[in-house]
Structure 1
Amino acid sequence: MRIALSSMDGMTGVLLLLLYHTCLGLDVTAPPSQTALFKSRVVLPCTFRVNAPPINPQFLAIIWSFETKELLRFDNKEKVVSDDGVSLDEQAARQGNASLTIYNVAIANHGTYKCLVIYSPDRTSRDIRLNVQATPMVKIHKMGLHKYEKNQVDCSITGFFPKESLIVTWLRNDIKIQGGSNMGLLQIGADGTFRVNSSIILTPDQIKDRPSIICQVEHVSLQKPIQDGFLVTYKVAPKVQLTSSSTEDGNEYLYVCEARGFSPEPLSINWLVDGKMANLSRGSEDGLFNKEIYYRVNIKEGNVSERISCNIQHEALNSPVTKTLEVQGYNKCKPHCHLGLVVLISLLVSSLVFIGYILFIRKRKHSKHFQMSHIHEELVRGNEEKVNLYCMASKCPEKVDVTWMITVQEQKLIIIPESPANKDEEAGPLISHEYTVKTDQTEDSGLHNTITVLSFNPTISSHKNTEVKCKLQCGGRCEERTLNFSFSYKKPSVKGPIDLSLDDSGNVLCSLTLENFSPRNVQMKWNCGVGINHELPSTEDIKKNQDHTFQCNSTCRIPKDFFIDPGSKVRVTWTHGSLDQPGSQELSLKDFPWRPEMGDIIVPPLVHNGEAKLRCVIRGYFPDNLEVKWLRREAGKPDLYELPSSSDRYKIPVLEVIQESDKTYTCTASLIVSVLLKTEHKSEFICRVTRPSLETPLERRTGELTVTGIPTVTLKQNGNTLTAEISHFYPEEITVTWSRTKEKSQPPNNFEKYEEKDYSITPESDGTFTVISSIIHKKSHMPHMTNKDKLYKITVEHDSLKKTFEKIFLKGKDHFEDVTEKHIKVEPDQAEMSNSEAVVQHEGEETQTLVQPHKNSNDKKKNEKKNKKPKK
């Protein structure tokens, strides 16, 4: 971590302050340990208290360290710089809160931290052990199992810390499996977390009846165990068939690779020519799966011989299964080959009878080997849906007659491809204009191969439940296949609520994603305003998924001015062919994530007859439509009343609002109070924030306030009498002491207490107190002493004083002379701490001195004065 450290000069300044600061007592509080989750935010609590608040920042220093490394240093001359994951609130530190915030907790943050607080001349530290925990993730590797063999199942546990207290349990139907499990080697990742694999060997008896197998993990970071599992399925290897057919013009081959009867479902089909894939998968009635994949090859001019292979990979196979066919090309006839054609035709004609006889024999023989495939379904998704139904036949000694039949809304329809001889008038009307049939037939060694394709655009109304039959006739044999086809649109699903963010101009970016819908055509609209009647422009990004469905992300930019009105709302609507009515989502200001966060009210020292400015910072809100009110509770009363924006005693300045780099707003709410002891002592102020996005207002309270009165010292003389009037002080406890030296030549520290002539204390109407104390100079009867030989000193001690008030006087012939500066050395730092100055003038005249509040009075003396009457 990189934190700015104070310079030696700054530290020297702090040490000088410590030398002149009286021991006041310091108490630091922190828990022995703290727990934080990996990548979270944590606060290490550390608070301190001095026996004589409020805290004077001039005598305060805070140092945080981790293990042996210093992380952060804060004192009155050094600003905290925290750009590497840690921070300290300076304002809170001046109020007694030295807590350290760590952002994005890492495993490296695990260890012991020290909070050292120096409040001159005391220093106290506390150690805090930060225990970082990372919750594990568990993933069992689901797989099909061999039914009659032993099987190993693996489970990965990743991202946990600490490594201790990890317990992995294997369950079968929620009952612990005894034995057979093994824990792998523990490994550590780049982020400091751990990972480990656990495996178990399952016997055939343990996987009988398809039980559930669960990997359960317990860890100190988890409140309850987590688990992952699966229901046992058995491995069944696929049966693979590869068929092909060319078009009539011979320019294209269509290959169909069919895998049937396998389990579990995941299966990979690859064409070895270029690896292109096109998948369609569906389940069968026996719980096993079928999968077809199509591949087209264009044949160029000239002799072409290319091996096309279909490669099947499945976990039930020990090695992949590969089926291979050849693509046979052809030569277009050149002009010089026509003579050869004539000769060839002559030979063919002369032997027609013989060939016909041979074909008849072969037809009867090979018709027994005639094969017909299932109907393969290919759904092509785009702006419009299209269905292609394929059916293939092979090893027929003559051309195959093709008939497609489709039952739509309980009406049987006959679709006649090219051959009208296949028409069956009793079966139903012809609707070939709505359907397209293309049949390709090729011949190889006297045997015919046929592929026929039925294509149409499906609709929900016509093809919700449809039966399709393909009838193929080869010689005297007839084969028929049936497919139950059901078509429906795929309705869009909504991916989460409307997502909100702020752009560089402070406008609101709204976006919503629709997923897994088909067909592609979808419309999305955005509206905003109080009546949601203002349509806004938007952009849509539509992408096609691997399963041929679509997803659409719609984004709309809404100017921030739209949200000033608390009734403003945002609505997005979408229409799609699968929906009976438009879908919609809506949000209002209360759904905005940018909610205000209030800090504590910062209260300066409250001095009678002075002015104080209370401040409260509100952060992280958007838009800028915050309402702040100040309320007051009188001492000893429960009721609150709202303060006006301006009055004789209270003023509420306009909010100080700034926009942060993340485009949210921060404001400072202030209250200026003309402090009177009688009204503000033990009263309470409340800062209340209201906003449309808040269900209940936010509040921060000052707690009962403490007001002090600073003594005003008036010194006056009348002949040999010196009188001190100390007024406007609170609380009542005060100490006034007179002392003198026997001789002028004696050092100043040889003062002896001198008895007052008069002492009285009087409560005033404003709640403060007044003390009058006087002494009389007695003439010496010693011949060697004169009236000028006596030094007199007055000392005033009170909680509100920065330092003890002292004045020294020399009794002149007819007046007292202030000689304080001659006998008390005032250091620069002390001069800054005390603005007191008094001069005793001639008889009948007086000087008033207002002594500033002392934020650090002596604890020992304070304890002596506590609960005592004024001392004479």
Structure 2
Amino acid sequence: MVKDIESPVWIYGQKTTLNCEAFNCTGDVKVIWVIKLRDGTQHEVSDMGSSDKEEEQPLMSREYEVTKEYDSQKMKGHVTTKLTFIPIISRHLGSTVSCRIVHQKKPVEKKFEVKSIYAKPTFVEPVQFTLSDQGDIQISVKLQKFYPQEMELGWFSKRGPSEEKIPSEVMKSNFGDTFDLESKCSVSGELFKDPTYKVIVRWKHQSMEESQSREMSVRDLPWHPKLQKFPIESVFQGDEVLLQCRVSDYFPDALTVKWFEKKMGSQDLEEISSPQKYKIPEISSHRMENKTFSSTAVLSYKRFDLSEKGVEFICRAEHPSLGTPIQTSIVQYRDTEAPTFILNNIQGPQIWFSGEKVTLYCAASYCKEGTQVIWMVKSAGVTISEIGEDGEDVNRDSHRSSGYVAHRERTEESDKEGLQDVTSSLTFTPSISKHQNISITCKILCDGKVKEKTFQHKYLYAKPTASGPIKLSLTDSGGVLCSLDIEGFYPSDIQMKWNDKKTLEPNRTTQNSDGTYSVHSEYKLPGRFFSHPDSVVRVSWKHGSMEDWESREMSVRDKDFPWKANVQDIPVPNLLIGRAAVLKFEVSNVFPDVLTVKWLKKEKGGQDLFPVVHNQTYNISELRPEKQKDKTFTYKLCLKFKPSISTEEGAEFICRVEHPTLEVPAEKSTGPLTIKGDYPLPSPV
């Protein structure tokens, strides 16, 4: 007797053992395990090794391991056999495993169908965090290589002991025989100002006995405060000294900066709070291009208020993302000399145009060797970018100086021995979205001293451009609505006039996403305005970025004029002697409705054209315009006559159409006519 095969839960990549027990076996017992894979391939493995040919299945005996044990104490003739291997979804899901026990040359077999194999999900580190323009944080996690596809996953917001479910989205993808999952949620960055706040993602899969989770707090965010590469800077303004300490790359906006002093020779560290001796303005933060925050802490004092022995000033920054505060320091003395080098005003254009390159120049005299020049871009007094010369790494983050190039133009010996004159340039291309309210500062660091000069442009312009030709449309009353779109200008003030008259129609001005403006201007004309081919509609505009007016024109003869008279060919019917014939065709897409039509006739063999007059012989239809849905006109032209051999055979009729949109009249011809006789058929004999 053979019991059913016992099988645990199959986990992809983990060893699995199948048990098969047989009872009342006599004599020698042979065990054969048969594995029939889902692709139809069959393997037999016995307790003596693989029965497949070694050259065909050299690894089979290593992939499948078979053991056989006798246990006479449990029951006489009791045999237990085990098959051990590592299941693979692509090979074993849907396969059949058989255990064949052969004793006394009588085989007994039990089968087991592999209906499920599980693959445990792998959590991918690191978790991805992304900042939005609105200050939200998008958190994204990935789980990979699990099977089957079903997965329970949820996001939770935790404050104290309570949890609240967070809306999320899940995207699944197939990776071979397993599945991958990416899930995202978005939470307000303000919540992470609380160090105890946590976001939890929790998942449960059929391959797992218990759910697993990952907690994230402000400490897990990738945006931790950084101190500037250079130490605290001293800026001398007469007897007053300003100490500046810049902190950047932090999020959320929850930075605290404290100043401390330690007198030389003392170990006591005192927090600075005296408003009489020191001034500490309130710190303000600024949003950077990478959506993190930056701020500059300032402490100012009078040089003569310092101790003669000197004072060490410490700038300490605290933030929820930091385990311990970060700090930097500088030692100042009463007799510290102000810098002796000369920094000239920054030179450059006062008027900037969006999209046109600008170069500013900063020159300093009597500098020592090794002088450094740093350009700073500031908004509302807060530094948002620092640019070192020729690729020097100032911020450690190259995106900060994106679009700015600083270059050392020259370094020359000055007229004072051992000193140098230096000139540095900053080149960039202004845009309305980035440069409306910014200033550019040139900072010189020489022999431990700092001097700065700031440049502020007077005007920032973006030049207007016409997006296309004047657009014309027809009104229900038969008039023409003219319009033009002017785009990409700044500031918003712009003058518009049509045919040298200021339009009475209000211009519709809108602001674009890049900070520039667009205007839609309209002007109404009567339909008869274009009845003369020399009529021209002109729109002109003037903006602060332009030296003079610019304009666009449109006439009926322009290629962009939307209505050109379309003259059809003249279809020629069968012409029979003495029977009434009609030559008819259409002229469509006509505007304005001032069509002129002339019928002409060329005699057989002749070259002269003779006008066809409406009379008893030739009936010329009256010109009647038919208004169409698109508000243009269509004319049906018709000439009726009774052809004869003597007057029409070989003759040619020509219709000449004139319209203001046509540079030359359009002519359509029947070609030489052929007249057929209209004779009765002979009677049958």
Q: TM-score, normalised by structure 1?
A: 0.31
Richer in helix (by share): 1
Q: TM-score, normalised by structure 2?
A: 0.38
